[in-house]
């Protein structure tokens, strides 16, 4: 049975060998950086990755209670009284201190993973759907550009309607809120002033829109188009549903 202090060389060795370190312990945690935080004593799971990411989880909840972004320097301050992990990110001016009382279990091992996650159903997928199938907005809509990073902002879809009126479409993959309306308003105003035209159509495309946002949208003369981001894996999804007997 290892004593808490005995884990120091294990951690040092694992860090040197670029292993992932996983342990459970009773500890307190201090953080100082963009904000300040303190977490009193309790059992937590600590994950240290080969890129020196540090993630601390309590036994409930989706999010880590404390963490350090990749690239932290990790020092072990180990003596008869204390077992402390001092983590610093000098460029971000962030400091994390884990005071470890007892380690419940410890593991370190090398991980091999070259995969990148593939995600679909994003806002960009929505913009592409509109660009290649402009009739989902309305008949006669002719897109000119998509995902354009101009000095006027990042405009999702930009084109002319059947009456050759300049039209800006802002996509949201989730329910559109007040800030989405204001984003659209910002783009419309910038395009109006830069092109020197008095009217530009603004369309907010999203699965739905909040009541207050819809009111503001109408006040500003913009339009809402109900549209859901495409999920190309839906075939898989249906298969899964069969498999999992939903």
Helices (H), ranges, 165-244: 178-195, 211-219, 234-243
* Position 79 contacts its own copies (CB under 8 A): no
* Position 47 contacts DNA (CB under 7 A): no
Tell me the CB-side half-sphere exposure of residue 88, using CA atoms within 13 A. Answer: 6
Question: What is the bridge-based pairing of β-strands 73-78 and 83-89?
Answer: antiparallel
Smallest gap from residue 5 Cβ to its own copies (A): 18
Within 166-205, the residues that bind its own copies by CB under 8 A are 173-174, 178-179, 182-183, 185-186
In the list 8, 57, 67, 224, the residue contacting DNA (rule: CB under 7 A) is 67
Alpha carbon 54 to its chain centroid, in Å, reads 18
Q: What angle do CA 208, 212, 214 make, to 5 degrees?
A: 50
Within 218-237, the residues that bind its own copies by CB under 8 A are 229, 231-234, 236-237
Q: Annotate each residue in 131-170 with x if it binds its own copies (CB under 8 A) or - if it does not, as one string.
A: ----------------------------------------
User: Do the Cβ atoms of 129 and 163 come closer than 8 Å?
Assistant: no
Within 156-175, the residues that bind DNA by CB under 7 A are 156, 170, 172-175
In the list 13, 17, 92, 120, the residue contacting its own copies (rule: CB under 8 A) is 120
Angle between helices 178-195 and 211-219 (to 10 degrees): 20
* Position 44 contacts its own copies (CB under 8 A): yes
């Amino acid at each position: 049975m290892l004593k808490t202090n005995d884990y120091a060389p294990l951690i040092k060795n694992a860090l040197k060998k670029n292993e992932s370190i996983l342990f459970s312990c009773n500890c307190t945690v201090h953080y100082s950086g963009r904000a300040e935080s303190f977490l009193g004593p309790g059992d937590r799971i600590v994950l240290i990755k080969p890129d020196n990411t540090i993630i601390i989880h309590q036994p409930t909840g989706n999010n880590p209670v404390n963490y350090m972004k990749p690239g932290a320097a990790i020092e072990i301050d180990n003596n008869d009284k204390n077992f402390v992990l001092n983590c610093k990110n000098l460029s971000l001016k962030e400091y994390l201190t884990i005071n470890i009382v007892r380690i419940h279990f410890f593991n370190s091992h090398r991980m091999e993973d070259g995969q990148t996650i593939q995600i679909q159903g994003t806002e960009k997928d929505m913009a592409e759907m509109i660009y290649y199938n402009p009739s989902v907005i309305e008949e006669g809509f002719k897109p000119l550009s998509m995902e354009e990073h101009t000095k006027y902002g990042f405009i999702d879809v930009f084109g002319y309607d059947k009456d050759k009126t300049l039209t800006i479409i802002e996509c949201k993959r989730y329910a559109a809120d007040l800030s989405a309306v204001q984003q659209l308003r910002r783009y419309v105003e910038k395009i109006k002033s830069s092109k020197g035209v008095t009217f530009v159509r603004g369309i907010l495309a999203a699965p739905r829109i909040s009541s207050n946002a819809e009111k503001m949208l109408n006040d500003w003369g913009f339009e809402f188009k109900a549209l859901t981001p495409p999920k190309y894996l839906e075939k898989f999804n249906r298969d899964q549903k069969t498999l999992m007997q939903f």
